[in-house]
């Protein structure tokens, strides 16, 4: 026994050391991954901008053909108040369309799960709206809708509506069948089943559709502004791009495109943060990211 105890102790110590090494290796890999998640996109962007600048400089490309990054940034600074005003107009249309899409998409999804006949009657038309290019619908909308703001909002809503409807409908139908049976046993009402089971189950699906719809609403707003083709002080970024193209002010076009891309990234990051805050305490997808 006196000889076995040291062996057991040494074995346990070796196992503890191996476990500590594996844990340290895992923690180091996690730190490297967390740094790389932010560093690699920044490095790629810096290299892309540098290559862009070198191509323009070495080939002496005129700024009205391809402006250098420095000229684009200088134009953004010079035309900041003009561009930011148009960006706010586009952003307002995007957020309003997204809000209406959320209200309409969630409302119809609840209706579809409560009435099979309603789903069979209206869901095919939602699919038709989704698969029909907004470029082909927008001219008709602006013919029959006199108010330009309403026309822009309607175009952006059509694009953003379907992902929320489809994902929320799928989520409402994906509740655990065992929990459904349990609520049936306890004679839960339709409202109780919807409130305490289906809506919580559908939340991750809804948030996934919301992230998709945020970018699509911005695309719909920009496309609608292109089709509307009106200028003026209250015009959006797409109108500024058209105006700059007519005047061969290519640096302003790039500056406006940069703002549209920045808006899209900001919308996606904001919706991703909202999804994380709502799911981090209980849903597996968010819990895994924290661990």
Q: How far apart are CA 126 and CA 134, in angstroms?
A: 13
Per-residue pLDDT, 198: 87
How is the chain split into domains, by residue range?
1-60, 69-290
Q: How far apart are CA 22 and CA 27, in angstroms?
A: 9
Looking at the domain that runs over 69-290, which CATH code has it been given? 1.10.3720.10
Per-residue pLDDT, 94: 95
Distance, C-alpha 93 to centroid of its chain: 16
Per-residue pLDDT, 291: 45
- Check if the beta carbon of residue 162 is closer than 8 Å to that of residue 129: yes
Beta strands in 195-249 (DSSP E): none
Which three-class secondary structure state does DSSP give residue 280?
coil
Consecutive sets of 10 residues in the chain, 291 residues long: mean pLDDT of each? 50 60 72 81 90 90 88 92 92 94 93 89 89 87 87 91 93 84 82 86 92 93 84 74 89 93 94 88 60 45
Model's pTM, two decimal places?
0.82
Burial (Cβ within 10 Å: 0-12, 13-18, ≥19) of residue 220:
buried
Per-residue pLDDT, 38: 82
């Amino acid at each position: 026994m006196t000889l076995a105890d040291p062996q057991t102790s040494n074995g346990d110590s070796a196992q503890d050391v191996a476990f500590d090494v594996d844990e340290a290796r895992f923690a180091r890999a996690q730190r490297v991954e967390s740094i790389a998640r932010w560093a690699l996109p920044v490095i790629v962007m810096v290299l892309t901008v540098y290559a862009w600048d070198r191509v323009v400089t070495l080939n002496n490309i005129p700024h009205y053909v391809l402006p250098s990054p420095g000229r684009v940034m200088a134009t953004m600074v010079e035309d900041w108040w003009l561009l930011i005003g148009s960006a706010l107009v586009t952003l307002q249309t995007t957020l309003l369309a997204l809000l209406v899409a959320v209200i309409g998409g969630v409302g119809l999804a609840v209706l579809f799960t409560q009435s099979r006949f309603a789903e069979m009657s209206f869901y095919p038309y939602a699919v038709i709206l989704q698969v029909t290019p907004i470029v082909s619908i927008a001219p008709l909308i602006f013919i029959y809708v006199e108010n330009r703001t309403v026309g822009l909002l309607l175009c952006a809503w059509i694009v953003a509506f379907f992902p929320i409807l489809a994902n929320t409908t799928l989520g409402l139908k994906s509740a655990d069948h065992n929990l459904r049976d349990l609520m049936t046993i306890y004679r839960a009402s339709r409202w109780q089943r919807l409130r305490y089971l289906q809506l919580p189950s559908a939340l991750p699906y809804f948030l996934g559709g919301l992230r998709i719809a945020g970018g699509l609403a911005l695309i719909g707003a920009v496309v609608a502004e292109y089709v509307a083709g009106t200028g003026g002080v209250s015009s959006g970024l797409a109108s500024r791009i058209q105006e700059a193209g007519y005047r061969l002010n290519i640096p302003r076009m790039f500056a406006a495109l940069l703002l549209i891309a920045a808006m899209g990234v900001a919308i996606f990051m904001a919706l991703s943060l909202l999804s994380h805050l709502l799911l981090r305490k209980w849903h597996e997808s968010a819990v895994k990211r924290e661990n």
